[in-house]
Amino acid sequence: LYGGIEQTTASMTRLPTGLFLSLQAFRLAQADRQEEAVMIHIKRAQTNDILPYAAKTYRLTEREMNVLDCLLKGQSTKEIASTLFISPHTVHDHVKAMLQKTNLSSRRMLVYFFSNI
C-alpha cells in the first residue's frame, strides 16, 4: 500500500499448524506532512474466506465452486440441479471433476475437506 493508490488489500496465509489467517491492510488517512501509515488486521480465516483461495489452488471452475457451495449447504443432487438450473447428471459431472482435482474419493470427503480447511 505504501506509495500506491490502493486503500486496502487482503491476503491469506497458512500456518505450519494448518490454521489459515486472513490479513487485511488499510491505508490510514493522514494529515499534511505526516508519514504514511498502514493498519493491519489479522484474524483466523473462516471457511468462506478460504474457499476462493482453495478454488484457485485446486483450479476449480466458477461452476464447480457454485456446486461446492451448494454441497457445503447440505443440498442434495436434485436441489443443486434446481438451484443452478442444470441437470442432475451435470451436477454429478462437476462433483466428479472436483474429486479428480482434489484427489479425493467421495462426495462426503469433498464436503468434509472443504468444510475443515
Average pLDDT value for residue range 53-81: 93
Q: Is 35 exposed, middle or buried (0-12, 13-18, 19+ CB in 10 A)?
A: exposed
Say if strands 20-27 and 38-44 run parallel, antiparallel, or are unpaired: antiparallel
Grid cell 468462506 in the structure block, residue: 48
- Better-predicted residue by pLDDT, 81 or 39: 81
Say yes or no to pLDDT of 84 above 90: yes
Task: State the average pLDDT for the chain.
Answer: 88
Distance CA 58, CA 52 (A): 10
For residue range 1-58, list pLDDT tens digits in order.
556 677 888 888 888 887 889 889 988 877 676 777 888 999 998 877 888 888 888 9
pTM recorded for the entire structure: 0.69
41 CB-near residues (< 8 Å, 6+ apart): 23, 24, 25, 26
Q: Would you state the pLDDT for residue 27?
A: 84
